């Protein structure tokens, strides 16, 4: 089985602040890694994904994530957040089915 941990449950930032959301997974083999985002009132959308190759993955809206195999981590980053980034962010690992973290609610103050 697989487990996914997101340690930050609720993050509050001011606009232009930098963001890093933690994600750790348990499976030690080859993994694909995903970040999904759910904006208020909308459905889950794919933010970015890692399959192989360059461990630094760039996604939509200026987000990026770094896969560090030795740390079993796939942290999400954005250098400068905007009010429109207010949403809930989910880390997910497919292992026959998706295993999700518990989600991180990001609240960006204008």
Partner 1 sequence: EAGVTQFPSHSVIEKGQTVTLRCDPISGHDNLYWYRRVMGKEIKFLLHFVKESKQDESGMPNNRFLAERTGGTYSTLKVQPAELEDSGVYFCASSRTGSDTQYFGPGTRLTVL
Which residues lie near partner 1 (CB under 8 A)? 4, 32, 34, 36, 42-46, 49, 51, 90, 94, 96-103
For the chain, first and last CA: distance in Å?
41
Instruction: Check if the beta carbon of residue 13 is closer than 8 Å to that of residue 20.
Output: no
Which of 55/79 has CB closer to partner 1? 55
Q: What distance in Å separates the CA atoms of residue 68 and residue 10, rounded to the nearest whole number?
A: 23
Smallest distance from partner 1 to CB 13, Å: 21
Which of 4/19 has CB closer to partner 1? 4
């Amino acid at each position: 089985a697989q487990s996914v941990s997101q340690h930050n449950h609720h993050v509050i930032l001011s606009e232009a602040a930098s963001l890093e959301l933690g994600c750790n997974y348990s499976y030690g083999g080859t993994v694909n890694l995903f970040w999904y985002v759910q904006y208020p009132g909308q459905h889950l959308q794919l933010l970015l994904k890692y399959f192989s190759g360059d461990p630094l993955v760039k996604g939509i809206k200026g987000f990026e994530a770094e896969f560090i195999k030795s740390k079993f981590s796939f942290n999400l980053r954005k250098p400068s957040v905007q009010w429109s980034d207010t949403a809930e962010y989910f880390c997910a690992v497919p292992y026959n089915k998706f295993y999700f973290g518990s989600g991180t609610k990001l609240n960006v103050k204008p």
